[in-house]
Chains A and B, each alone.
Chain A
Amino acid sequence: MCDTCGCNITHGNENFIKPGGKLHKTESGKEAVTVLHNLLDENDHTAMHNRDHFDQHNVLAINLMSSPGAGKTALLEATIQQLDKNLRIAVIEGDLETENDAERIRKHGVKAIQISTGSACHLDAHMIHQALHNLDLKEFDIIFIENVGNLVCPASFDLGQHLNVTLLSVPEGDDKPAKYPVMFRASDFVLISKSDLLPILDDFKPERARKYFQDIASTAPILELSSKDKSGMSEWLAWINQQIKTRKDYLKEHPLSSHSHSHTHGHVHTHSHEHTHDHVHKHV
Protein backbone atom coordinates (compact mmCIF):
# COMPACT_ATOMS: atom_id res chain seq x y z
CA MET A 1 0.00 0.00 0.00
CA CYS A 2 2.94 2.33 0.26
CA ASP A 3 6.50 2.34 -0.94
CA THR A 4 7.92 4.27 1.98
CA CYS A 5 7.11 2.67 5.29
CA GLY A 6 6.43 -0.79 3.91
CA CYS A 7 3.43 -1.16 6.18
CA ASN A 8 1.96 -3.91 4.04
CA ILE A 9 5.06 -6.04 4.24
CA THR A 10 5.29 -8.47 7.12
CA HIS A 11 7.88 -11.15 7.64
CA GLY A 12 5.10 -13.54 6.63
CA ASN A 13 4.85 -12.25 3.09
CA GLU A 14 8.15 -10.48 2.46
CA ASN A 15 9.65 -13.42 0.60
CA PHE A 16 6.86 -13.14 -1.89
CA ILE A 17 6.70 -9.42 -2.38
CA LYS A 18 10.14 -8.09 -1.47
CA PRO A 19 11.53 -6.11 -4.37
CA GLY A 20 14.45 -7.49 -6.27
CA GLY A 21 15.77 -4.00 -6.77
CA LYS A 22 14.33 -0.55 -6.70
CA LEU A 23 14.97 0.20 -10.34
CA HIS A 24 16.80 -1.80 -12.88
CA LYS A 25 16.92 -2.49 -16.57
CA THR A 26 15.72 -5.88 -17.71
CA GLU A 27 17.53 -7.85 -20.37
CA SER A 28 15.09 -6.63 -22.94
CA GLY A 29 16.17 -3.08 -22.25
CA LYS A 30 12.84 -2.22 -20.67
CA GLU A 31 12.66 -0.50 -17.34
CA ALA A 32 11.37 -2.53 -14.43
CA VAL A 33 9.95 -0.47 -11.58
CA THR A 34 9.06 -1.81 -8.17
CA VAL A 35 5.85 -0.15 -7.03
CA LEU A 36 4.32 -1.81 -3.94
CA HIS A 37 1.16 0.26 -3.95
CA ASN A 38 -2.13 -0.99 -2.64
CA LEU A 39 -4.49 -1.07 -5.59
CA LEU A 40 -7.06 0.76 -3.51
CA ASP A 41 -4.71 3.58 -2.45
CA GLU A 42 -6.93 6.23 -3.97
CA ASN A 43 -10.06 4.91 -2.28
CA ASP A 44 -8.27 4.53 1.05
CA HIS A 45 -6.93 8.07 0.82
CA THR A 46 -10.44 9.46 0.35
CA ALA A 47 -11.69 7.20 3.14
CA MET A 48 -9.15 8.71 5.47
CA HIS A 49 -10.34 12.19 4.58
CA ASN A 50 -13.92 11.14 5.23
CA ARG A 51 -12.86 9.84 8.64
CA ASP A 52 -11.15 13.16 9.37
CA HIS A 53 -14.38 14.98 8.46
CA PHE A 54 -16.35 12.79 10.85
CA ASP A 55 -13.78 13.34 13.60
CA GLN A 56 -13.69 17.10 13.11
CA HIS A 57 -17.38 17.13 13.99
CA ASN A 58 -17.30 14.46 16.68
CA VAL A 59 -19.50 12.24 14.57
CA LEU A 60 -19.34 8.46 14.89
CA ALA A 61 -19.73 6.66 11.55
CA ILE A 62 -20.97 3.07 11.48
CA ASN A 63 -20.98 1.00 8.29
CA LEU A 64 -23.74 -1.63 8.21
CA MET A 65 -23.10 -4.61 5.96
CA SER A 66 -25.00 -7.81 5.24
CA SER A 67 -26.57 -9.81 2.46
CA PRO A 68 -29.71 -8.33 0.86
CA GLY A 69 -32.75 -8.74 3.09
CA ALA A 70 -30.90 -9.43 6.33
CA GLY A 71 -32.74 -6.54 8.00
CA LYS A 72 -30.39 -3.54 7.87
CA THR A 73 -33.14 -1.00 7.23
CA ALA A 74 -35.48 -2.59 9.80
CA LEU A 75 -32.64 -2.45 12.31
CA LEU A 76 -32.11 1.24 11.55
CA GLU A 77 -35.82 1.97 11.95
CA ALA A 78 -35.92 0.21 15.32
CA THR A 79 -32.69 1.97 16.33
CA ILE A 80 -34.04 5.41 15.41
CA GLN A 81 -37.18 4.75 17.47
CA GLN A 82 -35.32 3.60 20.56
CA LEU A 83 -32.00 5.41 20.58
CA ASP A 84 -31.56 8.32 22.99
CA LYS A 85 -33.55 11.19 21.51
CA ASN A 86 -30.70 13.58 22.25
CA LEU A 87 -28.55 11.79 19.72
CA ARG A 88 -28.91 13.29 16.27
CA ILE A 89 -28.87 10.61 13.58
CA ALA A 90 -28.36 10.69 9.82
CA VAL A 91 -28.34 7.77 7.41
CA ILE A 92 -26.53 7.28 4.12
CA GLU A 93 -28.31 4.62 2.09
CA GLY A 94 -26.60 2.62 -0.64
CA ASP A 95 -28.70 0.71 -3.14
CA LEU A 96 -28.41 -0.23 -6.77
CA GLU A 97 -31.77 1.37 -7.51
CA THR A 98 -34.73 3.08 -5.76
CA GLU A 99 -35.07 5.48 -2.83
CA ASN A 100 -37.23 2.98 -0.92
CA ASP A 101 -34.89 2.55 2.02
CA ALA A 102 -34.20 6.28 2.35
CA GLU A 103 -37.94 6.95 2.34
CA ARG A 104 -38.47 4.41 5.11
CA ILE A 105 -35.87 6.24 7.21
CA ARG A 106 -37.27 9.71 6.43
CA LYS A 107 -40.68 8.63 7.71
CA HIS A 108 -39.07 8.58 11.15
CA GLY A 109 -38.02 12.21 10.78
CA VAL A 110 -34.39 11.34 10.19
CA LYS A 111 -32.24 12.81 7.43
CA ALA A 112 -31.40 10.16 4.82
CA ILE A 113 -29.18 10.54 1.76
CA GLN A 114 -29.71 7.95 -0.93
CA ILE A 115 -26.78 6.87 -3.05
CA SER A 116 -27.91 4.96 -6.13
CA THR A 117 -24.96 2.91 -7.25
CA GLY A 118 -26.48 1.80 -10.56
CA SER A 119 -24.77 -1.46 -11.34
CA ALA A 120 -22.04 -1.06 -8.72
CA CYS A 121 -22.23 -3.74 -6.08
CA HIS A 122 -20.69 -1.73 -3.24
CA LEU A 123 -20.22 1.77 -1.85
CA ASP A 124 -16.78 3.33 -2.08
CA ALA A 125 -15.12 6.22 -0.29
CA HIS A 126 -15.74 8.64 -3.16
CA MET A 127 -19.49 8.01 -3.06
CA ILE A 128 -19.50 8.72 0.68
CA HIS A 129 -17.46 11.85 0.10
CA GLN A 130 -20.09 13.06 -2.38
CA ALA A 131 -22.88 12.24 0.06
CA LEU A 132 -21.12 14.23 2.79
CA HIS A 133 -21.50 17.34 0.63
CA ASN A 134 -25.21 17.04 1.34
CA LEU A 135 -24.84 16.57 5.08
CA ASP A 136 -23.95 19.29 7.54
CA LEU A 137 -21.99 17.12 9.94
CA LYS A 138 -22.19 19.57 12.82
CA GLU A 139 -25.89 18.78 13.02
CA PHE A 140 -25.29 15.10 13.80
CA ASP A 141 -23.78 12.79 16.39
CA ILE A 142 -23.95 9.52 14.54
CA ILE A 143 -24.06 8.55 10.87
CA PHE A 144 -25.13 5.10 9.79
CA ILE A 145 -24.01 4.03 6.35
CA GLU A 146 -26.24 1.26 5.04
CA ASN A 147 -24.05 -0.45 2.49
CA VAL A 148 -25.33 -2.30 -0.57
CA GLY A 149 -26.71 -5.69 0.44
CA ASN A 150 -23.84 -7.95 -0.57
CA LEU A 151 -21.50 -10.21 1.38
CA VAL A 152 -18.62 -9.93 -1.07
CA CYS A 153 -17.76 -6.58 -2.59
CA PRO A 154 -18.35 -4.01 0.20
CA ALA A 155 -15.69 -5.71 2.35
CA SER A 156 -12.87 -4.48 0.10
CA PHE A 157 -13.66 -0.75 0.31
CA ASP A 158 -12.89 1.44 3.29
CA LEU A 159 -15.46 4.25 3.41
CA GLY A 160 -14.00 6.23 6.30
CA GLN A 161 -16.27 4.62 8.87
CA HIS A 162 -15.09 4.05 12.41
CA LEU A 163 -16.80 0.72 12.87
CA ASN A 164 -18.22 -2.11 10.80
CA VAL A 165 -21.38 -3.82 11.96
CA THR A 166 -22.32 -6.98 10.10
CA LEU A 167 -25.72 -8.63 10.18
CA LEU A 168 -26.09 -12.37 9.78
CA SER A 169 -29.80 -13.13 9.57
CA VAL A 170 -31.18 -16.42 10.81
CA PRO A 171 -32.74 -17.49 7.45
CA GLU A 172 -29.31 -17.25 5.79
CA GLY A 173 -27.82 -20.12 7.77
CA ASP A 174 -25.17 -20.25 10.45
CA ASP A 175 -22.23 -21.09 8.18
CA LYS A 176 -22.04 -17.73 6.37
CA PRO A 177 -18.84 -16.68 8.20
CA ALA A 178 -17.09 -19.75 6.76
CA LYS A 179 -18.41 -18.98 3.28
CA TYR A 180 -17.66 -15.24 3.33
CA PRO A 181 -14.61 -14.89 5.58
CA VAL A 182 -13.45 -11.61 4.05
CA MET A 183 -16.68 -9.84 4.95
CA PHE A 184 -17.13 -11.28 8.40
CA ARG A 185 -13.48 -10.82 9.38
CA ALA A 186 -13.98 -7.08 8.89
CA SER A 187 -16.73 -6.91 11.54
CA ASP A 188 -16.34 -4.98 14.77
CA PHE A 189 -19.75 -6.12 15.96
CA VAL A 190 -21.92 -8.94 14.69
CA LEU A 191 -25.69 -9.08 14.94
CA ILE A 192 -27.49 -12.37 14.44
CA SER A 193 -30.60 -10.64 13.11
CA LYS A 194 -34.18 -11.93 12.89
CA SER A 195 -33.49 -13.91 16.04
CA ASP A 196 -37.27 -14.20 16.57
CA LEU A 197 -37.09 -16.86 13.81
CA LEU A 198 -34.70 -19.09 15.75
CA PRO A 199 -37.48 -21.31 17.18
CA ILE A 200 -38.90 -21.88 13.68
CA LEU A 201 -35.67 -22.15 11.68
CA ASP A 202 -34.05 -24.36 14.27
CA ASP A 203 -31.31 -25.57 11.94
CA PHE A 204 -29.60 -22.23 12.63
CA LYS A 205 -27.50 -22.85 15.73
CA PRO A 206 -26.10 -19.63 17.23
CA GLU A 207 -23.35 -21.66 18.89
CA ARG A 208 -22.30 -23.05 15.54
CA ALA A 209 -22.25 -19.51 14.07
CA ARG A 210 -20.01 -18.44 16.96
CA LYS A 211 -17.67 -21.35 16.22
CA TYR A 212 -17.41 -20.25 12.57
CA PHE A 213 -16.53 -16.73 13.76
CA GLN A 214 -13.76 -18.19 15.92
CA ASP A 215 -12.46 -20.08 12.89
CA ILE A 216 -11.85 -16.76 11.13
CA ALA A 217 -10.13 -15.39 14.26
CA SER A 218 -12.87 -12.82 14.81
CA THR A 219 -12.89 -11.15 18.20
CA ALA A 220 -16.04 -9.14 17.45
CA PRO A 221 -18.85 -9.43 20.02
CA ILE A 222 -21.86 -11.37 18.69
CA LEU A 223 -25.41 -10.46 19.67
CA GLU A 224 -28.72 -12.13 18.82
CA LEU A 225 -31.21 -9.41 17.92
CA SER A 226 -34.71 -9.02 16.55
CA SER A 227 -35.88 -5.66 15.23
CA LYS A 228 -39.37 -7.14 15.34
CA ASP A 229 -39.76 -8.38 18.92
CA LYS A 230 -36.98 -6.01 20.08
CA SER A 231 -34.97 -8.70 21.89
CA GLY A 232 -31.31 -7.71 22.00
CA MET A 233 -32.16 -4.09 21.20
CA SER A 234 -31.14 -2.71 24.59
CA GLU A 235 -27.69 -4.35 24.32
CA TRP A 236 -27.29 -2.99 20.77
CA LEU A 237 -28.24 0.54 21.87
CA ALA A 238 -25.89 0.31 24.84
CA TRP A 239 -23.08 -0.73 22.49
CA ILE A 240 -23.75 2.28 20.24
CA ASN A 241 -23.77 4.66 23.21
CA GLN A 242 -20.53 3.15 24.46
CA GLN A 243 -18.91 3.56 21.03
CA ILE A 244 -19.95 7.22 20.81
CA LYS A 245 -18.44 7.84 24.22
CA THR A 246 -15.27 5.90 23.41
CA ARG A 247 -14.75 7.86 20.20
CA LYS A 248 -15.32 11.20 21.94
CA ASP A 249 -12.89 10.26 24.70
CA TYR A 250 -10.35 9.20 22.12
CA LEU A 251 -10.66 12.49 20.25
CA LYS A 252 -10.26 14.41 23.51
CA GLU A 253 -7.02 12.59 24.22
CA HIS A 254 -5.85 12.79 20.62
CA PRO A 255 -6.93 16.15 19.25
CA LEU A 256 -7.31 16.11 15.52
CA SER A 257 -4.20 18.17 14.81
CA SER A 258 -2.07 15.35 16.20
CA HIS A 259 -3.64 12.49 14.34
CA SER A 260 -5.17 14.05 11.28
CA HIS A 261 -3.24 13.34 8.13
CA SER A 262 -1.79 15.92 5.87
CA HIS A 263 -1.75 15.02 2.21
CA THR A 264 1.86 13.93 2.15
CA HIS A 265 1.76 12.08 5.42
CA GLY A 266 -1.59 10.59 4.50
CA HIS A 267 -0.19 9.10 1.38
CA VAL A 268 2.56 7.38 3.26
CA HIS A 269 0.19 5.92 5.78
CA THR A 270 -2.70 5.01 3.56
CA HIS A 271 -4.53 2.33 5.43
CA SER A 272 -5.94 -0.81 3.99
CA HIS A 273 -9.30 -1.92 5.22
CA GLU A 274 -7.73 -4.25 7.73
CA HIS A 275 -5.44 -1.55 9.01
CA THR A 276 -8.44 0.61 9.65
CA HIS A 277 -10.00 -2.20 11.60
CA ASP A 278 -6.88 -2.51 13.73
CA HIS A 279 -6.68 1.23 14.09
CA VAL A 280 -10.16 1.41 15.51
CA HIS A 281 -9.51 -1.39 17.94
CA LYS A 282 -6.27 0.03 19.19
CA HIS A 283 -7.33 3.58 19.77
CA VAL A 284 -11.07 3.75 20.36
Chain B
Amino acid sequence: MHELAICQALINQLETIATERNAQNISLIVVGIGPLSGVEAQLLKNAYPIASTGTVAENAEIVIQQLPVKVKCNECGCESETKPNKLICKNCGNWRTTLISGDELILLSVELETADSQSGLASKANTGLH
Protein backbone atom coordinates (compact mmCIF):
# COMPACT_ATOMS: atom_id res chain seq x y z
CA MET B 1 0.00 0.00 0.00
CA HIS B 2 2.48 2.64 -1.09
CA GLU B 3 -0.41 4.37 -2.87
CA LEU B 4 -1.11 6.46 0.25
CA ALA B 5 2.48 7.76 0.25
CA ILE B 6 2.17 8.56 -3.45
CA CYS B 7 -1.18 10.23 -2.84
CA GLN B 8 0.40 12.44 -0.18
CA ALA B 9 3.11 13.44 -2.67
CA LEU B 10 0.33 14.27 -5.11
CA ILE B 11 -1.42 16.46 -2.52
CA ASN B 12 1.85 18.33 -1.85
CA GLN B 13 2.13 19.10 -5.56
CA LEU B 14 -1.50 20.21 -5.73
CA GLU B 15 -1.03 22.55 -2.78
CA THR B 16 2.04 24.10 -4.43
CA ILE B 17 0.14 24.64 -7.68
CA ALA B 18 -2.85 26.12 -5.84
CA THR B 19 -0.61 28.52 -3.92
CA GLU B 20 1.33 29.55 -7.06
CA ARG B 21 -1.89 30.32 -8.91
CA ASN B 22 -3.74 31.72 -5.98
CA ALA B 23 -6.53 29.16 -6.28
CA GLN B 24 -9.14 28.69 -3.59
CA ASN B 25 -10.17 25.26 -4.65
CA ILE B 26 -9.11 22.43 -6.91
CA SER B 27 -12.07 20.83 -8.59
CA LEU B 28 -10.56 18.23 -10.91
CA ILE B 29 -7.24 16.45 -11.21
CA VAL B 30 -6.16 14.12 -13.99
CA VAL B 31 -3.45 11.56 -13.30
CA GLY B 32 -1.82 9.29 -15.89
CA ILE B 33 -0.74 5.85 -14.71
CA GLY B 34 0.97 3.07 -16.61
CA PRO B 35 0.77 -0.50 -15.27
CA LEU B 36 4.57 -0.65 -14.91
CA SER B 37 4.64 2.31 -12.53
CA GLY B 38 3.73 -0.15 -9.81
CA VAL B 39 0.74 1.93 -8.73
CA GLU B 40 -2.80 0.60 -8.70
CA ALA B 41 -5.30 3.17 -9.98
CA GLN B 42 -8.11 2.01 -7.72
CA LEU B 43 -5.92 2.05 -4.62
CA LEU B 44 -4.78 5.56 -5.46
CA LYS B 45 -8.42 6.60 -5.79
CA ASN B 46 -9.24 4.98 -2.46
CA ALA B 47 -6.33 6.74 -0.77
CA TYR B 48 -7.23 10.15 -2.20
CA PRO B 49 -10.01 11.15 0.25
CA ILE B 50 -7.76 10.21 3.18
CA ALA B 51 -4.76 12.17 1.92
CA SER B 52 -6.73 15.20 0.73
CA THR B 53 -8.81 15.88 3.84
CA GLY B 54 -8.41 19.46 5.01
CA THR B 55 -6.47 20.52 1.91
CA VAL B 56 -7.32 22.77 -1.00
CA ALA B 57 -7.88 19.62 -3.08
CA GLU B 58 -10.30 18.02 -0.65
CA ASN B 59 -13.31 18.08 -2.93
CA ALA B 60 -11.54 17.43 -6.20
CA GLU B 61 -12.71 14.77 -8.58
CA ILE B 62 -9.82 12.48 -9.46
CA VAL B 63 -9.71 11.12 -12.99
CA ILE B 64 -7.20 8.43 -13.79
CA GLN B 65 -6.06 7.90 -17.34
CA GLN B 66 -4.66 4.39 -17.72
CA LEU B 67 -1.79 4.31 -20.17
CA PRO B 68 -0.97 1.29 -22.32
CA VAL B 69 2.19 -0.79 -22.18
CA LYS B 70 4.10 -0.41 -25.44
CA VAL B 71 7.53 -1.61 -26.45
CA LYS B 72 9.80 -0.87 -29.38
CA CYS B 73 11.91 -3.74 -30.66
CA ASN B 74 15.66 -3.08 -30.58
CA GLU B 75 16.07 -5.35 -33.62
CA CYS B 76 13.20 -4.84 -36.07
CA GLY B 77 12.03 -1.48 -34.75
CA CYS B 78 8.43 -2.63 -34.59
CA GLU B 79 6.27 -1.02 -31.91
CA SER B 80 3.68 -3.14 -30.21
CA GLU B 81 1.19 -2.89 -27.38
CA THR B 82 1.67 -5.69 -24.91
CA LYS B 83 1.20 -6.94 -21.35
CA PRO B 84 3.32 -5.79 -18.37
CA ASN B 85 5.00 -9.18 -18.01
CA LYS B 86 5.41 -9.88 -21.73
CA LEU B 87 7.61 -7.08 -23.01
CA ILE B 88 8.65 -8.95 -26.12
CA CYS B 89 8.27 -7.82 -29.73
CA LYS B 90 4.98 -9.00 -31.21
CA ASN B 91 6.45 -8.87 -34.69
CA CYS B 92 9.67 -10.89 -34.37
CA GLY B 93 9.49 -12.28 -30.82
CA ASN B 94 12.74 -10.61 -29.76
CA TRP B 95 13.00 -9.87 -26.03
CA ARG B 96 15.47 -7.03 -26.41
CA THR B 97 12.99 -4.20 -26.44
CA THR B 98 12.66 -0.70 -25.05
CA LEU B 99 9.62 0.42 -23.13
CA ILE B 100 8.06 3.47 -24.79
CA SER B 101 4.89 3.68 -22.72
CA GLY B 102 3.56 2.11 -19.57
CA ASP B 103 5.68 3.20 -16.58
CA GLU B 104 4.25 6.71 -16.17
CA LEU B 105 3.03 8.16 -12.93
CA ILE B 106 2.18 11.71 -13.85
CA LEU B 107 -0.03 14.52 -12.71
CA LEU B 108 -1.37 15.56 -16.12
CA SER B 109 -3.61 18.51 -15.34
CA VAL B 110 -5.68 20.21 -12.70
CA GLU B 111 -8.74 22.41 -12.79
CA LEU B 112 -8.54 25.33 -10.41
CA GLU B 113 -11.10 27.70 -9.02
CA THR B 114 -9.44 31.05 -8.60
CA ALA B 115 -10.84 34.37 -7.44
CA ASP B 116 -10.72 35.43 -11.11
CA SER B 117 -12.66 32.45 -12.34
CA GLN B 118 -15.17 32.89 -9.52
CA SER B 119 -15.69 36.54 -10.37
CA GLY B 120 -15.89 35.49 -14.01
CA LEU B 121 -18.72 33.16 -13.11
CA ALA B 122 -20.35 35.86 -11.05
CA SER B 123 -20.14 38.40 -13.84
CA LYS B 124 -21.56 35.87 -16.29
CA ALA B 125 -24.40 35.30 -13.86
CA ASN B 126 -24.96 39.01 -13.54
CA THR B 127 -25.21 39.50 -17.26
CA GLY B 128 -27.46 36.54 -17.62
CA LEU B 129 -24.92 34.50 -19.59
CA HIS B 130 -24.81 30.91 -18.36
Q: How far is the CA of A124 from the CA of B8 in the complex (A)?
A: 13
A19 touches B109 (CB 8 A): yes
A206 on interface, CB distance cutoff 8 Å = no
A214 touches B106 (CB 8 A): no
Contact with B along A1-37 (1 / 0, CB 8 A): 1000000101111001101000001101111111111
User: What would 15 A/B residue contacts be, using CB atoms closer than 8 Å?
Assistant: A12-B70, A13-B102, A13-B104, A17-B108, A25-B120, A29-B124, A31-B23, A31-B112, A34-B108, A35-B13, A121-B1, A153-B2, A156-B37, A156-B105, A181-B85
Contact of B105 among A29, A35, A40 (CB under 8 A): A40
Q: How far is the CA of A214 from the CA of B94 in the complex (A)?
A: 9
Q: How far is the CA of A216 from the CA of B34 in the complex (A)?
A: 15
Q: How far is the CA of A36 from the CA of B17 in the complex (A)?
A: 12
- Name the A residues within 8 Å of B84 (CB-CB): 181-182, 216
- Name the B residues within 8 Å of A214 (CB-CB): 88, 95
B37 to chain A, nearest CB (A): 7
Q: How far is the CA of A13 from the CA of B14 in the complex (A)?
A: 23
On whether A156 and B106 interact (CB within 8 A), knowing A10-B101, A13-B70, A30-B112, the answer reads: no
- Name the A residues within 8 Å of B34 (CB-CB): 13
Contact with A along B101-119 (1 / 0, CB 8 A): 1111111111111101110
B60 to chain A, nearest CB (A): 11
Residues A180-221 near B (CB distance < 8 A): 181-183, 185, 212, 214-217, 219
Q: How far is the CA of A70 from the CA of B128 in the complex (A)?
A: 69
A152 touches B101 (CB 8 A): no
Q: How far is the CA of A128 from the CA of B81 in the complex (A)?
A: 36
Q: Which residues of B contact A (CB under 8 A)?
A: 1-2, 5-6, 9-10, 12-13, 17, 21, 23, 27-28, 31-32, 34, 36-39, 65, 67-68, 70-72, 79, 84-88, 95-114, 116-118, 120-121, 124
On whether A8 and B100 interact (CB within 8 A), knowing A217-B71, A217-B88, the answer reads: no
A75 on interface, CB distance cutoff 8 Å = no
B39 to chain A, nearest CB (A): 7
Chain A residue nearest to B65 in the complex (CB): A16
Q: How far is the CA of A157 from the CA of B105 in the complex (A)?
A: 12
Chain B residue nearest to A119 in the complex (CB): B1
A235 on interface, CB distance cutoff 8 Å = no
Chain B residue nearest to A154 in the complex (CB): B2
Since A19-B109, A185-B36 are in contact, a sample of 16 more A-B pairs with Cβ atoms closer than 8 Å, ordered by chain A residue number, is A31-B23, A31-B114, A32-B109, A33-B109, A35-B106, A38-B105, A38-B106, A42-B9, A43-B9, A156-B39, A179-B85, A185-B87, A215-B88, A216-B87, A217-B87, A219-B96
Contact of B106 among A8, A30, A32 (CB under 8 A): A8
A33 touches B21 (CB 8 A): yes
